Amino acid sequence: MTSQPILLVEDNPDDEALTLRAFEKSNISNEVVVARDGAEALAYLFPDDDGGYDVPRPALILLDLNLPKVGGLEVLRKMQADARTRLIPVVVLTTSKQEEDILDSYRSGANAYVRKPVKFSDFADAVRALGVFWLLLNEPAPSRGPESD
């Protein structure tokens, strides 16, 4: 299994706690880094340096749409615009089932869109399925380093 972290972008502390708990239950061993708004997520993804990474590239990003400061769609667009982050798989994990939100997410570069179920066991199942698919089954884009793009 990969040792790259999972980036969870989530402002609701309860959802954060439950998502972390769901990861624990599913035996996914990757470290989960939490960003509590879009700005924190961007600061993590684009650290102030001269273009190189001093943090490991996340294996997967779980992104809420409704976030303080910088919204989820904005985070997606910024990631799409930068070669260093364009190929990181992003799963939008949100409460909204609104067609516009789903379309906007895909248009902005999301790889998947999952609505958070209300029932925790369903939510835990969803998190486990996401982990299995994106971290084990899915073949990620080869990492050639930021300079070789």
Partner 1 sequence: MFVALLEAAPDAMVCIAADGRLVQVNAQAERLFGYERAELIGQPVEILVPDAARAVHPGHRAGYVADPRHRPMGAGLSLAGRRRDASTFAAEVSLSAIDTDEGILVAAAIRDVTDQRRMTDLERSNHDLESFIYTVSHDLRAPLRALSGYSELLLEEYAGVLGEEGRGYAERIVAVSEHMGQLIDYLLHLSRVSQAELHLQPVDLGGEAAQIAEEIQRREPLRHVRFTIQKQVQALADRRLIVTVLENLLDNAWKFTSGREDASIEFGTAPSGDAALCCYVRDNGAGFDPAYAGKLFQPFQRLHAARDFPGTGTGLASVRQIVERHGGHVWAEGAVGGGATFYFTLDDKESA
Nearest to 142 by CA among 102, 82, 88, 96: 88
* Min dist. Cβ of residue 11 to partner 1 (A): 10
Gap between the Cα atoms of 45 and 103, Å rounded: 24
- Which part of the chain contacts partner 1 (CB under 8 A), choosing from 13-21, 47-55, 80-88, 130-138? 13-21
Strands of 112-115's sheet in order across: 32-35, 6-9, 60-63, 90-94, 112-115
Residues 51-110 that bind partner 1 (CB under 8 A): 66, 95-98
Nearer to partner 1, 29 or 98 (CB): 98
- Which part of the chain contacts partner 1 (CB under 8 A), choosing from 7-15, 55-63, 77-85, 103-111? 7-15
**Interface with partner 1 includes 118 (CB under 8 A)?**
yes
Gap between the Cα atoms of 133 and 135, Å rounded: 6
Q: Please, are residues 95 and 62 in contact by the beta-carbon 8 Å criterion?
A: no
Run of H or E including 120: helix 120-131
* Min dist. Cβ of residue 17 to partner 1 (A): 8
**Interface with partner 1 includes 23 (CB under 8 A)?**
no
Instruction: List residues near partner 1 by CB under 8 A.
Output: 12, 14-15, 18, 21, 66, 95-98, 116-121, 123
